[in-house]
A and B are shown apart, each in its own frame.
Chain A
Amino acid sequence: MKTARLTGRQRLAVSIPLGWLLVCVALPVLLVLGLAFGEVADRIPPIEPLLRIAAGRPTVHLTLHNLAAAATDPLYASAFGSALLNALETTALCVLIGYPFAYAIALAPERQRRLYVLLAVLPFWTSFLMRTYAWMGLIRDKGPVNHLLLALGVVNEPVPILYSPAAVLLVMVYAYVPFFILPMYAVLERLPRDLLEAAADLGARPFYAFRTVTLPLSLPGLLAGSVLVFVPAVGEYIIPDLVGNTDTIMIGGILWAEFFQNRDWPAAASIAFLMMALLVVPFLVLRRLLASLGGARPA
């Protein structure tokens, strides 16, 4: 790719955001990766320095112990597994709910579309924490959802929904579905309508036209939206902590506990190390997808 030489002022303009990101993103990430090779110490900060001066000579102290322990710990493995499974289920449900919703908005008349998009976006300007909290009220034993189920005769006594894996999934879908709806809507809205009309004119039934025309054309949006849901969902900590139980301890929660409760920074760093390694692949997929979605993007 051809690159141009920038003028002095232009270089200055680039170096300000770039310098900030190097110090506040690249350097911290490298520090965490390095810390994964460090040792716990009973001091503040609770780590042995990686670089020590011994007998006038600097020596580097690194150990693979933490990473090996993190990679083989059955508790970590099951937390990783449940985080991945939960993220997959969340993504699948976001597709099932978000796709028809985004498509219905995209097919609405132009003027209504603006209103619907505003209505779809508005909740997500409000606090994520508050929206999670609202579900705690809705699904608790004496909450409206249980009242409804009792009134409908679905159940005879209140079912414990709050503090269960199902509650985690429900709230995860609620919190993450906008990450899916927006890219999905952006793609569906730009689909050429005349292709569908042509399919209909040629005798295709609506579902057949959808399956052979709309769905393939909207696949990039579907994949981009799915990755945007899946990746942050893997590391989610707040929702499992607030509405889940001991069966829903996920890897984000383990990192949190190792750091805040056990004060074992190298262990937390090892988990971070493994999570990053795991997320590199979907990250690269997303970059390609966004590039193929038309036009370069800043991210």
Chain B
Amino acid sequence: MSRRGQPVWRPLALWLGLGFLYVPIAWIIVYSFSGATVAGVWKGFSLRWYLALAENEGLRLAAGRSLLLAALAATAATALGTVAGYALSRLPRFRARSALTVLLAIPLFVPEVLIGFALLMLFVALETLTGLRLSKGLLPLIAGHATLGMPVVASVVYARLAGLDRSFEEAALDLGARPLRAFLTVTLPLAVPALISGWLLAFTLSFDDVITSSFLAGPANTTLPMLVYSTVRVGVNPQINVVGTLIIVGAALIVIASRLRGQPMLVPPDRAARSGGATR
């Protein structure tokens, strides 16, 4: 479409789009280094809010809890999602296949207030039936976040396996390997990049989650996003700029590092992951 050089709309769309995406992020980072007591006011370069974070025990505890929760939930989601992705891409058409695909789609598709509410009803029912006090621990949160992350992992693993040549596995089977051994020694190693992407996606989903956590966390289990949310409801706060900067820089480093190692494109931690195309 551009015999006569670049049409003007292309750089315009590109740079306006990137500007729209990055200006808010720049705002968070820049003002995390301001000495002012009000967020978004520049009063000289200062690390005071970074130092204040070190003394904020509530934030530190919540951050540690969220990291632990995200790591456990992402691991469970990766285990479950990998098996689901494998079953959908490698097993012959089985009867429960459509049930599996519909159930995988629900957490991705249905608004999260519904999912969080529904999961709480499950744990309330379990508590009523068994008399256990599940909500005292992290268990409902881990199970809930694993359920949110599992479909994302499944779609990434599925996309990777669907794009892989089956001849390696077939060679292993021809040479006498049992299916389980072929899966563990051939398929799984080939799918490792997808497993890593999937784990990171599930981790990010969990580490960012407010809604499901609000339903499932008992009073003693406030997560970092819940704490941030209750803080920013009141208004902007320079301490939150610091937390935001740390999260943004950490996430950016992970994404860039995994790109440099030549892994497949990482899709964002959202429902778009399911549309598949970008993961190939």
Contacts and interface: CB of A to CB of B under 8 A. Distances in A.
Contacts of A142: 40-41
A130 B244 contact: yes
B60 to A, nearest CB: 17
Interface residues on chain A, size class? 35 or more
Interface string A25-55: 1111101100100000000010000000000
A237 B27 contact: no
B24 interface: yes
B275 A186 contact: yes
B248 A127 contact: yes
Interface stretch (A74-82, A152-160, A290-298): A290-298
Interface of B: 1-3, 7, 9-11, 13-14, 16-18, 20-25, 27-28, 31, 39-41, 80-81, 83-89, 91-97, 99-101, 103-115, 117-119, 121-122, 124-125, 128, 143-144, 146-147, 150-151, 154-155, 158, 162, 179-180, 204, 207-208, 210-211, 214-215, 225, 228-229, 232-233, 235-236, 240-241, 243-244, 247-248, 251-252, 254-256, 259, 265-278
13 contacts: A3-B95, A24-B143, A25-B147, A97-B17, A118-B259, A126-B251, A178-B268, A182-B267, A228-B274, A228-B275, A279-B110, A286-B109, A298-B89
Nearest to B252: A122
Contact of A17 (B21, B81, B110, B214): B81
Q: B-side binding surface: helix, strand, loop or mixed? A: helix
5 tightest Cβ-Cβ pairs between the two chains A and B:
A235-B111, A186-B277, A134-B24, A124-B268, A28-B118
Given A24-B122, A126-B252, 10 more contacts: A23-B122, A118-B259, A121-B265, A127-B225, A136-B236, A140-B236, A174-B24, A182-B277, A200-B1, A283-B109
Contacts of A4: 92-94
Interface of A: 1-4, 6-7, 9-10, 13-14, 16-18, 20-29, 31-32, 35, 45, 97, 100-101, 103-105, 107-108, 116-131, 133-138, 140, 142-144, 174, 177-183, 185-187, 189-190, 196, 200, 206, 209-210, 224-225, 228, 231-232, 234-238, 241-242, 252, 255-256, 259-260, 265, 268-269, 272, 275-276, 279, 283, 286-287, 290, 293, 295-299
